[in-house]
């Protein structure tokens, strides 16, 4: 038992050091660099608000369009950043994996935790600013919002680990995945809700776990949001299956990943 605690303590320190390294690599040493994490979601929200306002469209759930789009774009960016960036984690940390205490799993978790924490903090900051501006009300059910984001993060980490596993054998995989992943931006509920869709389209999109999690976030955020079409068991099952497959892939390729 003492050996297990010691091993977990060492692994925790390794992952923490990797998080710091990833943060410095991505955002630089200046604190201002972290502000860039806000640029992409805010830019996308403002762009969509301008387009939909020009078209005379209103939020499907009432309230301000900026709030509606923020609750769709930030979950999407959480998924996309995790699924895409974990793919390149091995290559960026190849030299570190020469050390016996640094495992491929540690490398992936360091990047995954940084991306997850960053996007959740960004979401909180955007909501806080919108509340100060009088555009957003207090969150209706914070537990469900966090549960949805964590479920989506678990699913995305699983997809990212699967991508990292495939890339061990096929270095160009990330380009193919990026191309295949791009249409999901338009199919994951950023611009619409399940209740606003025709039955046939809704039936099709309900198989998309990202769409389910976006619906889940909005059901927790808005008091006026109908969550009748959310399949909680399906979203959670997809997250667990993806994460399990990702873990199996990482375990099976851990020796090869060290020697890319």
pTM for this prediction: 0.92
pLDDT computed for residue 29 by the predictor: 64
Residue 86 lies in a domain: yes
| Of 148, 113, 136, nearest in space to 59 by CA | 136
**83-101 residue pLDDT tens:** 999 998 888 888 888 777 8
pLDDT computed for residue 31 by the predictor: 64
Residue 17 lies in a domain: yes
Instruction: Render the burial of 81-115: b for 16+ CB within 10 Å, e for the rest.
Output: bbbbbbbbbbeebeebbeeeebbbbbbbbbbbbbb
* Residue whose entry in the numeric block shows the structure tokens 């960004």: 122
Q: Is 159 exposed, middle or buried (0-12, 13-18, 19+ CB in 10 A)?
A: buried
pLDDT computed for residue 254 by the predictor: 86
Residue 188 lies in a domain: yes
**53-87 residue pLDDT tens:** 888 887 877 778 888 999 999 999 999 999 999 99
Residue 174 lies in a domain: yes
Name every residue whose Cβ is closer than 8 Å to that of residue 72 and which is 6 or more positions away in sequence: 188, 189, 190, 191, 214, 218
pLDDT computed for residue 155 by the predictor: 98
Residue 219 lies in a domain: yes
How many structural domains compose the chain?
A: 1
Residue 1 lies in a domain: no
Pick out the chain residues at pLDDT < 50.
none
CB 177 within 8 A of CB 163: yes
Domain that holds residue 55: 8-257
Residue 83 lies in a domain: yes
Residue 178 lies in a domain: yes
| Of 135, 136, 137, 139, nearest in space to 149 by CA | 139
CB 205 within 8 A of CB 184: no
pLDDT computed for residue 218 by the predictor: 93
């Amino acid at each position: 038992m003492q050996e297990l605690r010691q091993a977990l303590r060492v692994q925790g320190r390794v992952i923490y050091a990797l998080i710091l390294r990833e943060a410095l690599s991505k955002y630089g040493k200046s604190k201002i660099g972290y502000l860039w994490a806000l640029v992409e979601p805010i830019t996308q929200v403002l762009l969509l608000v301008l387009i939909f306002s020009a078209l005379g469209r209103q939020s499907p759930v009432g309230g301000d369009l900026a709030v509606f789009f923020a609750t769709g774009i930030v979950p999407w960016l959480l998924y996309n950043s995790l699924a895409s960036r974990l793919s390149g984690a091995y290559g960026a940390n190849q030299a570190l994996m020469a050390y016996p205490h640094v495992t491929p799993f540690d490398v992936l978790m360091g990047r995954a935790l940084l991306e997850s924490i960053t996007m959740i903090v960004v979401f909180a900051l955007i909501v806080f600013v919108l509340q100060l501006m009088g555009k957003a009300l207090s969150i209706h059910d914070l537990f469900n919002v966090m549960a949805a984001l964590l479920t989506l993060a678990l699913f995305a980490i699983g997809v990212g680990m699967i991508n990292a596993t495939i890339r061990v054998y096929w270095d160009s995989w990330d380009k193919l995945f990026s191309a295949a992943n791009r249409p999901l931006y338009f199919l994951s509920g950023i611009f619409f809700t399940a209740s606003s869709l025709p039955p046939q389209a809704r039936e099709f999109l309900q198989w998309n776990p990202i769409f389910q999690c976006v619906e889940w976030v909005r059901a927790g955020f808005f008091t006026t949001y109908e969550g009748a079409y959310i399949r909680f068991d399906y979203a959670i099952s997809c997250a667990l299956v993806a994460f399990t497959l990702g873990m199996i892939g990482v375990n099976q390729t851990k020796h090869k990943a060290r020697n890319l």
